[in-house]
Amino acid sequence: MANTISTKTYRDKYRKASLAVLLRKALVAEKIAQVDRSKLKTLQNPYSSQATAVVDDITGRYDVQDYQTIDDTLTVDKEVKVAEHIYDFEMSLTNFDIFASRVDEQHFSVAYAIDKYVLNVFVRDAGQTYVTPSGAFQTAANLPQIVANLFSKVMGFADAMYRGCYLVLENTDIIGVLQQEFASGFSFADTALRNGFVKSYGGVDLYVVRQGTFSNYSAGSVGFQNQSKRLFGVKGVNTYATPRDIRYEEKRVSRKTGKEVVTYGYIGAKVWREKQEYTIAVVLTANPSPSLSASPSASVSPSASASPSPSPS
């Protein structure tokens, strides 16, 4: 019986499986936000104004209140894409599967681009700002104070209690975090020392992205000024949309052997206005540069008293 399954079929299956695994593991946005994968280009605001209950004497009567819905939309207006041409001789003559290697690289590139864009939108549109003590997360003693101060900004909201909170840091920030974990109470410190980075602190889930994720950069017509900022908030309040998920194409190109491989998708992200207070931009304060101590100025000796002029003979 002839084998009717082409090698392209195997490649497509490999691509879909590897991308699904990578997106689940690599994207912080998947863990801290609501994800919408419908085919809608625009999502309407899911939140309306908060109802206010009144305690009064028993009369059997009530006043009817008005409520408001605020026009606010998430529009999918960004495209994430990467494309490469893989020549036939590259696939045929290399000592490893260059097709699979390039597919992995494209998937990582797409995942990183999505994560970076979504996280920077959340920081830019955060409803509150918190400035860290000097030294920020690189100073171990600051961690309890920072976490407590951030918690205080969202405590009392019901969502903070049952959804949980998150803190997104860059890899350079965990210097002080690890030191504080190692020095904490016996059980917690023992776990940190045995198993490495503990992924929560004080009930806050910690996520670490690579240096440069929060940065000053442009994504199409949108610009960000998020260098030296980090992200804290309540989980599942903000939304990011990726209609029809990520797609792939292989194309034969005239006058070239092999195939052109394209990975692309559409994304949008939103911090809803009614819930802006649930998202906090954390502004890092660096340690002050040690000032050069001025060298002591040379002491000026008091001028010598003029010797008395000799009296005339």
Within-domain flag for 154:
yes
Within-domain flag for 211:
yes
Number of domains in the chain: 1
Q: In which region does residue 220 sit, left (phi positive, over 0), alpha (psi from -120 to 50) or beta (all else)?
A: left
User: How far apart, in whole angstroms, are the C-alpha atoms of residue 313 and residue 311?
Assistant: 6
Within-domain flag for 296:
no
Within-domain flag for 139:
yes
Domain range holding 136? 8-43+72-285
Within-domain flag for 256:
yes
Which positions ≥6 away from 122 have C-beta within 8 Å?
A: 33, 231, 233, 238, 269, 271, 279
Within-domain flag for 313:
no
In this prediction the pTM is 0.76
Within-domain flag for 293:
no
Within-domain flag for 300:
no
List the end-to-end C-alpha distance of the chain, in Å, as a whole number.
142
Tokens at 111, concatenated:
């995942």
pLDDT values of the chain reduced to their tens digit, one per residue, 313 residues:
444 545 565 566 666 666 666 665 667 988 999 888 887 788 777 776 667 777 888 888 888 877 666 778 888 888 889 998 888 777 776 666 777 778 778 888 888 898 899 999 999 999 999 999 999 999 999 999 999 999 999 988 877 777 899 999 999 998 888 888 787 665 555 555 555 566 778 888 999 998 999 999 999 999 999 999 999 999 999 999 887 677 778 888 888 888 888 888 889 999 998 899 999 999 999 887 665 444 444 444 444 444 444 444 4
